[in-house]
Chains A and B, each alone.
Chain A
Amino acid sequence: MEHSTSAVLHQDHNVGGGTKEIWKVTIILSVLTIVELGLGFWMMGMPDGGLRYSIKGAIIILMLAKAFYIVGYFMHLKHEIRNLIMTVVVPLLLFVWFIIAFLYEGNSYHNLKNEYDPYYKEKGTMQMEKKEHGEGEHKEEEKKPEPLH
């Protein structure tokens, strides 16, 4: 191990872009965050629909871009050798299956409940009562909103 440590020390001195690169990445991350927030403000109060979903998609792409810059430059992975990059990144590909499978599952469960459970469907349309109308049975509802599932 002692041997490999000294070998690494020699290697590390001629990789990476130094302070200039750090500031460049800082600016990129800040700009990406500001764009994300701008999209968030734009999306506010917008009804569900194609445009809103597109903005959400754009925010997710920006999020992945930020993740790339943090891992690649701040965590220095981009300047490591290919072997290390692959041993870290390839297992993370499991997330592709993980996300698709579980979101599909959640959506399917939602559809099944709405189709076969009339009680669940009815609960989904019940309005949360405001304090002014708080009398009798309504007050009970307001105090203890039951979980839907």
Chain B
Amino acid sequence: MSTTTATAPTKYWSGGKSPFNVEYGKLMMWYFLMSDAFTFGAFLISYGTTRFATTGWPDPNKVFQSFPGLGAGYPLLFVSLMTFILIISSVTMVLAVHAGHNMDKKGVVKYLIWTIIGGLAFLSCQAWEWTHLFHEGAWWGRNRFPNANGTISTTNFANFFFTITGFHGFHVFSGVIINVVMLIMTLMDKFEQRGHYLMIEKAGLYWHFVDLVWVFVFTCFYLI
């Protein structure tokens, strides 16, 4: 990067070439992700504002403490599993993009399948957690969990939790759909015909963004 700019500092703005040195679709994916970051940021900041404006807040370790098959009393365990599933699926996505660079169709197919499996596993975890919390008495407009000090809590905790994790889950879902489409296109040799796998990179950017958002959601809801 630094060597390119040092040898010809004005090259990128002299026309005839993308000043950002990426193709159009990838640049637009970056801009889309930037706008999406503001959407998620606005959600999380409104959650923060409400939390700052409220006396007392439920203790996440008391709310999210169940694990399928083990029962209650395991705080942070299930969400750690979800976090690692998403990180690993992000890694397999990078490997798919990498295989695409080397025009390795078999590698792309293999790693895309693993990424899709990771995405579906994450969605299943989320479905289980939502169902569990629903049966525990939390839903939009409904919250049976007391504040950390035992006082009556607001329903805002449940409202923000379901809205934000729901919006994130919807992104994971669309990411899985996009990856399935990429897999089908790869299997149909669409990218071989084009001579490049740049489409996989754009899908990869979206998928990593979903992982990135989870880093923030995980911290804001489960840890802090």
Residues of chain A whose beta carbon lies under 8 Å from any beta carbon of chain B: 1, 3-5, 7-9, 11-13, 15, 18-19, 22, 26, 29-30, 33, 36-37, 39-41, 44-45, 56, 59-60, 63, 66-67, 70-71, 74-76, 79-84, 87-88, 91-92, 94-95, 98-99, 102-103, 105-107, 109-110, 113-114, 120-121, 123-128, 141, 145-149
- Determine how close the nearest CB of chain A comes to the CB of B13; give it in whole angstroms: 8
Residues of chain B whose beta carbon lies under 8 Å from any beta carbon of chain A: 1, 4-5, 12, 16-24, 27, 30-31, 34, 37-38, 41-42, 45-46, 48-56, 61, 75-76, 80, 83-84, 87, 90-91, 93-95, 98, 101, 143-144, 146-147, 150-156, 196, 198, 201, 204-205, 208-209, 211-212, 215-216, 219, 222-224
- Determine how close the nearest CB of chain B comes to the CB of A20; give it in whole angstroms: 11
- Contact at B143–A71, with CB atoms within 8 Å? no
Question: Can you list 17 A-B contacts with CB-CB less than 8 angstroms, sorted by A residue number?
Answer: A1-B24, A13-B101, A22-B91, A22-B95, A33-B84, A44-B75, A56-B224, A60-B219, A75-B209, A76-B201, A80-B1, A80-B21, A83-B20, A109-B53, A128-B152, A148-B55, A148-B152
Give bound CA distance, A18 to B54, whole Å: 48
Across the A-B interface, how many residue pairs have beta carbons closer than 8 Å? Answer: 188
Interface of B is mostly: helix
- Contact at A67–B146, with CB atoms within 8 Å? no
A74 and B94 contact, Cβ closer than 8 Å, known pairs A59-B219, A110-B54: yes
